Chains A and B, each alone.
Chain A
């Protein structure tokens, strides 16, 4: 009996070590590739290798909102400051129980119109349509019955007038040049069906009239650790996967899509919690199944500042939701897994998301527990276990610090010395505690899963002026 237990623990230990080493290798490779690409892109811009045009193409910005009365006006104001010639803003209120509609109607002096909406995608019925007058771009507000985020996005797509739409969260803010940057891949390459941008934590930003006027590390540890986490995940996964058209996620907070293709693929799934990922995977599957040449791109210079949860409770809610969304998306498109028909997407991206995103929390919790049990039973010596944990954590921390400062540099952000020191400390803390906390949250995400279908992931919002 003891012999069998020892055998199992040994197997789990070595599997876990192998698992971590593969991840460490992947991380190193992706960060190196990402760093190279970002420096190269910087150089290209410096020596006039860029596409500049007075007039690109019209874009509809779709902003789904649910109980966003605190931040929605600031967000829309930031969208009105974009340096872009032709765009429209479509806000879709998904049956909010607060005063989201009222604050918008009053602030932008909107009036009700009887605008028919062509329902090319299934969504709940609209209650009222409002239109703002006298603004530099058309602003439409659609108040509809509650149906979830995917449903609200479908409504926004239905009401949009232009061939490309940008989806953005209601608590997010764009820099003045964000729209111009995110359309660049479409100008450079034929067949681009979707483009993702870089999402960063808005709490670290001071913005005025669409321009950054300051950047700092917040004192709130939950917020600052997420800043590190966002930078690492965007640089680590997106740029490398972009090289082989393997990106499976475009954040719902900031993504540009070709409307016709999204409609042809069926629009956002109204039943999935991770509707953003599900749509991207479906676009891959749809294009490959129908032999349509396509690419899904990532544009690291297009930046969106999105509010991140400030309390552990809100963060827990958000991550459980994301993890369930990931599970639903991967399960729904399981035929992609290791299927050569889907090329690198099936052989690498899907595998990565399955092993290092979906199953990672389980592996981490079980793996570290098995190592601890092995140390207690004498199978593994304590010295090795502690040394390994410290070294592995240090490795991740150093890599995170590298990524963070590289993004600070390439985005031309200025930080004080105090904030730099804070960033280093936060990097270490994030790798020691925060990742473990998130692993536990995600490992238990499925408890009570059925009850939360179609719900919006509400987190407490703060007014951006207060930062």
Chain B
């Protein structure tokens, strides 16, 4: 009796495994066929898009818009359009694509409403489609930002990233600010680097965006993201960032120090020196940034910092000192100093710069 139960179970498992194997084989074969069919449909769609783009006023009729809407309201159709459009970017003039996308906007707005009710992965695909818009077509799609915001409900990290990409492409400040507020309110993690680098793709006025964002209420992590974004902008926003040097929050202070490495501001120098002398967690960044502030006071502070208890501070101080005009006498002093760590670090940095003097 017990032996037959064991046999039964094993038989059942073999049957399930065989079914799994069978399913896998069928899936692999069918997906091979499916991808060939998809490729064929993408090529057909590319040809169709190109022929329509050649004479948009005539060929984008009410009928065409309706058929486009029907096509893109399901996942496969949308994927085909996305792939075809991406490939056509290299083959068609951007003006033709712009004219086409503007003429088709009603179909896309209608489809955007349909995608509101779909799964997060499908919403992500639609948002990706919007991120492909040519720059000149963006004003016609500005209000799409509002619809995209609703895609954030019950979303995945991929959906959120694609929505942000779409909002950067649209250059819609209001929608982007609201999207980021939604992130913060819901406590969603989004990699800070993705955020700060992503904002650089914003198609509107980046300086205005930075100032408007700064005036909102954010947690420290988001403020650090904003400072990193400002660091990459040309406009000087030292007035906003300077108070953060003394704010005491590690990430914020760190981002602010980095900011003043890219945007030299003598008002920041005393604060940077103070951070270096306090030899806390952020001293390592201060030691590096001060390399861009060459003067006697900084030089002396950096020499002192060569004896820091922190290895990274010693290394960065040595590297910063290398950027300054050190006399032969000064180099000799540092090479023969009493502090072994300071000496070793300085000699290594000197050597790696291909300099001599010790």
Contact = CB atoms under 8 A, between A and B. Distances in A.
Interface of A: 14, 17, 21, 24-25, 28, 31-32, 35, 39, 43-44, 46-51, 53-57, 113-116, 118, 131, 186-190, 384, 387-388, 391-392, 394-395, 398-399, 401-402, 405-406, 409
Given A46-B79, A48-B82, 14 more contacts: A43-B121, A47-B79, A47-B121, A48-B124, A51-B191, A113-B351, A116-B341, A187-B194, A188-B191, A190-B189, A388-B7, A398-B17, A402-B20, A409-B27
A405 B75 contact: no
B24 A48 contact: no
A402 B17 CA distance: 8
B58 interface: no
A49 B124 CA distance: 6
Contact of A53 (B20, B193, B351): B193
B10 A392 contact: yes
B352 interface: yes
Nearest to B86: A48
7 contacts: A21-B6, A48-B125, A113-B348, A116-B345, A188-B191, A398-B17, A405-B21
Nearest to B347: A114
Nearest to A119: B311
A390 to B, nearest CB: 10
B27 A39 contact: yes
Nearest 5 interchain pairs by C-beta: A49-B158, A190-B189, A118-B311, A398-B17, A48-B128
Contact of A17 (B6, B17, B121, B312): B6
A384 B3 CA distance: 7
Contact of A188 (B11, B125, B157, B193): B157
B172 interface: no
Given A116-B341, A388-B6, A405 B348 contact: no
B9 interface: yes
A190 B194 CA distance: 13
Nearest to A410: B28
B198 to A, nearest CB: 8
B17 A395 contact: yes
B184 interface: no
B197 interface: yes
A189 B157 contact: yes
Nearest to B159: A49
Contacts of A48: 82, 124-125, 128, 162
A25 B6 CA distance: 12
Contact of B14 (A39, A46, A395): A395
Contacts of B348: 113-116
B122 interface: yes
B114 interface: no
B226 to A, nearest CB: 18
B6 A405 contact: no
Contacts of B17: 28, 395, 398-399, 402
B344 A116 contact: yes
Contacts of B6: 17, 21, 388
A402 B21 contact: yes
Contacts of B20: 31-32, 35, 399, 402
B158 A50 contact: yes
Given A31-B20, A394-B14, A402-B21, A53 B125 contact: no
A49 B125 contact: yes
Most A-side CB within 10 Å, residue of B13, B28, B197: B13
Interface string B144-160: 00000000000011110
Contact of B24 (A35, A50, A118, A394): A35
Contacts of B18: 398
Nearest to A400: B17
B297 interface: no
Given A49-B121, A113-B351, A398-B18, A405 B25 contact: yes
Nearest to B345: A116
Contacts of B352: 113, 115, 131
Given A388-B6, A388-B10, A409 B157 contact: no
Contacts of A25: 13
Contacts of B11: 391
A17 B2 CA distance: 10
A197 B43 CA distance: 36
Interface string B191-224: 1011001000000000000000000000000000
B121 A402 contact: no
B21 A47 contact: no
Given A21-B6, A116-B341, A51 B14 contact: no
A374 B286 CA distance: 76
Most A-side CB within 10 Å, residue of B17, B28, B161: B17
A384 B25 CA distance: 32
A406 B7 contact: no
Given A113-B351, A114-B351, A115-B348, A49 B156 contact: yes
Contact of A47 (B3, B125, B193): B125
B16 interface: yes
A387 B7 contact: yes
Given A39-B27, A44-B158, A115-B348, A51 B194 contact: yes
A65 B2 CA distance: 54
B167 to A, nearest CB: 16
A387 B2 CA distance: 14
A116 B339 CA distance: 14
A238 B305 CA distance: 47
Nearest to B2: A14
Contacts of A31: 20
Nearest to B35: A46
Contacts of A189: 157, 189
Nearest to B121: A49
Given A44-B121, A406-B24, A51 B158 contact: yes
A402 B24 contact: yes
A18 to B, nearest CB: 9
Contacts of A190: 189
Contact of A409 (B10, B24, B158): B24
B7 A391 contact: yes
B191 to A, nearest CB: 5
Given A17-B6, A47-B122, A398 B14 contact: yes
A49 B344 CA distance: 49
A193 to B, nearest CB: 14
Contacts of A391: 7, 10-11, 14
B45 to A, nearest CB: 16
A34 to B, nearest CB: 11
A446 to B, nearest CB: 32
Contacts of B125: 47-49
Nearest to A114: B348
Contacts of A118: 311-312
A43 B34 CA distance: 13
